[in-house]
Amino acid sequence: MTQSPFKDGLFEGKVVFVAGGTSGINLGIAKRFAELGAKVAVLGRNPEKAANAAAEIGHDAIGLTADVRDYGAIVGAMTQARDTFGPLDVVVSGAAGNFLAPVLGMSANAFKTVVDIDLLGTFNVFRGCHGLLSPNASLIAITAGQAVNPMQLQAHACAAKAGINQLVRVLALEWGPNVRVNGISPGPIEGTEGMARLAPDASTKQKHFDRIAMKRWGFIDEIAEGAVFLCSDAAKYVTGTILDIDGGSSLGDATQRQIDKGLA
Ligand code: HXC
Ligand code: NAP
């Protein structure tokens, strides 16, 4: 784990809800808030994964099950979290679905599936949590560089994540000054399902690697530290922003795309 500037107990007594928090990056975020003293609820579709994630986080954690595409179900789960731990101080919307496919290789339902999980899911989580929040709550959406930089075989995720970025900005305007709404855009993160899907072979992995200014993959705990920052008082004047935590991987995209046409 990176040497953290954040002090033990920073989120003592706070309540954190993480949609999509049963694996990968979002689970890492949930664990970090728990280490800093928060009570944490994580949510996914698979009950076994949810139970295991809660057990891994430890004391004062619960695993909940719902599909973020189902507004009633996600509100029910967030209400359960509020009833268990109290009003929600932090809500993270990170559930996502992805697969590589060209536009002509995806049905309308395939496109809709990813847009519904990522974008409609984030709308549902944020719209649904508003009445369950504590004063001065902080919301985080997990987006991606593909929201800004187009990537072949990713029309669904590019469109969905672009929508998430704008949803973050609109909600920051509508819900300020009491609720802060921000996004985190991770770069390629080591050992995640997302990277396994986006870079399934060595040559694709290398092409992603070549774009990273820092010349290394990111780590889950580096995303978690960013989430803690955005939800801490250190960021109390920060809202409506998308924080890139990507080792500079999005900087050279336009040029790089000319070079490596045919990525993946
Ligand atoms: C083309 C595909 C496909 C593929 C599925 N579909 N996989 N089309 N190529 N490889 C189509 C199906 O045929 C179907 O369309 C439609 O998508 C819905 O498929 P289902 O299997 O019914 O959907 P569902 O059970 O809801 O599962 C959603 C899923 C699945 C996205 C397909 O992979 C999933 O649950 N993923 C969650 C985990 C995940 O993806 N993690 C990585 C997130 S990383 P038809 O027409 O046949 O009905 C990430 C990286 C971010 O987001 C960086 C980039 C933005
Ligand atoms: P992951 O391990 O696949 O995590 C996805 C999580 O979302 C799981 O908890 C999954 O649990 C849940 N989920 C998926 N569909 C859901 C649905 N319909 N309803 C409720 N929960 C659902 O993914 P990851 O690679 O760590 O990525 C996490 C986030 O970071 C995503 O938003 C992704 O777009 C973003 N991101 C990742 C990378 C990367 O390098 N990995 C880069 C940029 C952005 P169930 O399957 O049990 O539902």
In 27-148, DSSP assigns E strands to 39-44, 61-65, 88-93, 133-142
The ligand 2 atom at the shortest distance from the C-alpha of residue 25 is 26
pTM of the model: 0.97
Q: Would you say residue 228 has pLDDT above 80?
A: yes
Q: Please state, in angstroms and rounded to a whole number, the distance separating the CA atoms of residues 20 and 14.
A: 19
In the chain, DSSP assigns E strands to 15-19, 39-44, 61-65, 88-93, 133-142, 180-186, 242-245
Determine the pLDDT at residue 208: 87
Q: Please state, in angstroms and rounded to a whole number, the distance separating the CA atoms of residues 30 and 38.
A: 9
Q: How would DSSP label each residue in 134-148?
A: EEEEEEEEE--GGGT
Determine the pLDDT at residue 254: 54
Q: Please state, in angstroms and rounded to a whole number, the distance separating the CA atoms of residues 225 and 243.
A: 12
Residue from 23, 31, 164, 244 whose mutation best tests the ligand 2 pocket (most atoms within 8 A of CB): 23
172-216 pLDDT per residue, tens: 999 999 999 999 999 999 999 999 999 999 999 998 898 899 999
Q: Which domains are present in the chain?
A: 15-260 (3.40.50.720)
Q: Residue 226: CB within 6 Å of ligand 2? A: no
Determine the pLDDT at residue 264: 40
Q: Would you say residue 256 has pLDDT above 80?
A: no
The ligand 2 atom at the shortest distance from the C-alpha of residue 53 is 9
The predicted model gives 143-169 an average pLDDT of: 97
Q: Whose CA is nearest to atom 29 of ligand 1?
A: 97
Determine the pLDDT at residue 207: 87
Rounded to 5°, angle at Cα 81 from 80 and 86: 110
Do the beta carbons of residue 210 and residue 149 sit within 8 Å?
no
From ligand 1's centre to the CA of 53, what distance in Å? 22
Three-class SS state of 53: helix
Q: Would you say residue 128 has pLDDT above 70?
A: yes
From ligand 2's centre to the CA of 190, what distance in Å? 14
How much of the chain, in percent, has pLDDT values that exceed 70?
94
Q: Please state, in angstroms and rounded to a whole number, the distance separating the CA atoms of residues 77 and 14.
A: 18
43-58 pLDDT per residue, tens: 999 999 999 999 999 9
From ligand 2's centre to the CA of 110, what distance in Å? 17
Mean of the per-residue pLDDT values for the chain?
95
Q: What is the dihedral of CA 109, 114, 120, 123, to 10 degrees?
A: 180
The ligand 2 atom at the shortest distance from the C-alpha of residue 146 is 43
